[in-house]
Amino acid sequence: MKLYCLSGHPTLPCNVLKFKSTTIMLDCGLDTTSVLNFLPLPLVHSPRLSKLPGWISKDGTINLEKELKECAGRVFVDSQPEFCLPEKELLDLSTIDVILISNYHCMMALPYITEHTGFTGTVYATEPTLQIGRLLMEEVVNFMERVPKAQSATSWKNKDMQRMLPGPLKDAVDVWTWKRCYGMQEVNSALSRVQLVGYSQKVELFGAVQVSPLSSGYSLGSSNWIIQSHHEKVAYVSGSSLLTTHPQPMDQSSLKNSDVLILTGLTQMPTANPDGMLGEFCSNLAMTIRAGGNVLVPCYSSGVIYDLLECLYQFIDSANLGTTPFYFISPVANSSLEFSQIFAEWLCHNKQSKVYLPEPPFPHAELIQTNKLKHYPSIHGDFSSDFRQPCVVFTGHPSLRFGDVVHFMELWGKSGLNTIIFTEPDFSYLDALAPYQPLAMKCVYCPIDTRLNFHQVAKLLKEVQPLHVVCPEQYTQPPMTQSHRSDLMLELQPPPMPYRRCSVLNLPFRRRYERVYILPELAQSLVPTEVKPGVSIATVSAVLHSKDNKHTLQSVPKPPPVPPTKKRKRVMEEPPVAPKPLLSGAVPLEAFLATLQKHGITEVKVEETAEGHILHLQAEDTLIQLEEDGTHIVCDNNEPLRTTLRDLVLRFLQKL
């Protein structure tokens, strides 16, 4: 069993498991942190960005002023933002049989894999994962296509050139593999391969293994996966949460008795308490509005925003924010808010029960009805006529490199009254803000990450007790910025097996058993012999028939009769040779020595070995090796003696 690791990002995994002749891809996360190296894509012409100076090396030998721009001491690529793809050279991706998706954040690289590698398999995901994943892909495509860039910067990617660049561009990994965003045609083609599954539904793969999704408690439709055969079990835990938020709670009991547990997608903010961050979010928002400023919340169009809106729903009246407009701007804003209300069976019990009242499960429905929350596809059109300040704007993209958020950064960045509140943990807020410096607006960092922290994982692993744990190497050491915090890493016995991008692990257990079925008519012909109380054994001669990884024992077919011919007389059929009987039992040493003495063999020297005993018959110059699984008689040129000794050994054994 092998695990190929194609992504270096622990919360955006992409691994391939080879298990019992099947090749299974576990998630295909897209590392979007690479976009932080690019200049933002403004929706309207930005004089500030267009006037940025080009970059020339200090000694003047390297001139990349058409491709690279300098801003506040940092260098950025002036081109369409590009993404860091999962590794494609480690193995032939066309051999992948299935792709299992754990949540909608971990499927963003799907079109790159299904459309450009010769992939012909099936993708399995839950319905909310598929539908919300489609919205997130559609949103990114829309953001990119709204602001096309004519030039494409490639010279800076030259290895010799990149080595001379200032950081962080100099340290960027695999820049030649970075790719521009896919289009809607590729998205639709990729998602047409998705087959929907429900929690605990068992899906058979070629008769070899069974896969089944379990609720992971992180987001709508998010899953952990069980991959098992008759005798082996692998658990894949990715992006899970034990907190009580809007999704169904995590199914922990089904993870028990795993031979291997592959662990990814832990919290990126192990020291930040989500409840505390929500409180900080609300208080900073209220403070800014009361001072007459605007609040900008860069966010994804699904996920944490549902919890933020729910929190604000409870907070608005007590904070006297009833007249403050809340705007949600995204090409998929309407669909996202509607989807969250119709996936009732994927919600926690508390929200499910509201559907039968009938009430909408999420309170943002009421915010929309009372006109406190308004949603728009973009800043153009209706929004410009409805827009009034001070206000709160939720919009994307959290990287601040593309989407409507770029416009608000340019619009509000120069005033100290305004505040930007970061709630998504995927991007460093300092790196996200770098191309907007110098910045007057206040910045508040309230990352809300509900995924498992190290304390919760340690408790979970203690309960489910897998034999082996495999995880990204980042989890086996404290964070670089807090090297003294040994509580921010996994400490297990035996130690977890770490992986990094491009590593191939041989997972530490071997398949020892295979299930074989026996046909009823063959079973009927067996004659069991009791070898010890409660245990009976029967020998069987059969033909092993294997098809679709299912193995069946069938009766040996009788040879067809040979038809007589004029030239040849009919040959008499020889009766089939009966197989030699199998022997069972053990040869007790004292009783065997007594039997030898009765037969006149008295000079016996006994030597104890690791496997059993060696008897040296000195007068006869013969050795007898008595071992647990066999007996050997070493006797030169004395066939009568050898036969006698064999018969004496057989007295103590049972024939089957």
For the chain of 656 residues, list the mean pLDDT of each consecutive stretch of 10.
Answer: 94 95 95 95 90 86 87 92 94 96 97 95 97 96 90 86 87 89 97 96 93 95 95 95 89 95 94 92 94 96 91 86 92 92 86 81 88 93 91 96 96 96 95 94 95 94 94 91 84 91 88 87 87 84 88 86 60 60 83 88 87 86 87 86 89 82
Distance CA 578, CA 302 (A): 71
pLDDT digits (tens, 9 = 90+) for 312-371: 988 888 888 888 999 999 999 999 999 888 888 898 888 888 877 778 888 888 999 988
Q: Structure pTM? A: 0.85
Q: Confirm if 421 and 296 have CB atoms less than 8 A apart.
A: yes
pLDDT digits (tens, 9 = 90+) for 580-637: 777 878 888 888 889 888 888 888 888 988 888 888 988 888 889 988 888 888 888 8
CATH topology of domain 2-33+51-266+453-506: Metallo-beta-lactamase; Chain A (3.60.15)
C-alpha torsion 347→349→354→355, nearest 10: 50
Q: Confirm if 68 and 37 have CB atoms less than 8 A apart.
A: no
Pairing of strands 550-555, 516-518: parallel
In this structure, what DSSP letter does residue 246 have?
A: S
What's the length of the chain?
656
Distance CA 500, CA 213 (A): 25
Q: How high is the pLDDT of residue 578?
A: 65
Q: Tell me the domain boundaries of the chain.
A: 2-33+51-266+453-506, 274-445, 583-655
Which tokens hold the place of 271? 């020291």
Choose the CATH number for 583-655 among 3.30.70, 3.10.620, 3.30.310, 3.40.50: 3.30.310
Q: Is CATH 3.40.50.150 the right assignment for the domain spanning 274-445?
A: no
Whether 274-445 and 583-655 share one fold: the answer is no
Pairing of strands 209-215, 529-532: unpaired
Q: How high is the pLDDT of residue 297?
A: 97
Q: Confirm if 598 and 583 have CB atoms less than 8 A apart.
A: no
Q: Which residue has the tokens 């110059």?
A: 621
Longest dimension (CA), the chain: 116
HSE at residue 34, side-chain half, CA atoms within 13 A, is 24
Q: How high is the pLDDT of residue 567?
A: 54
Distance CA 255, CA 236 (A): 9
**Closest residue by Cα to residue 146 from 276, 371, 331, 340:** 331
**Neighbour count for residue 332 (Cβ, 10 Å):** 21
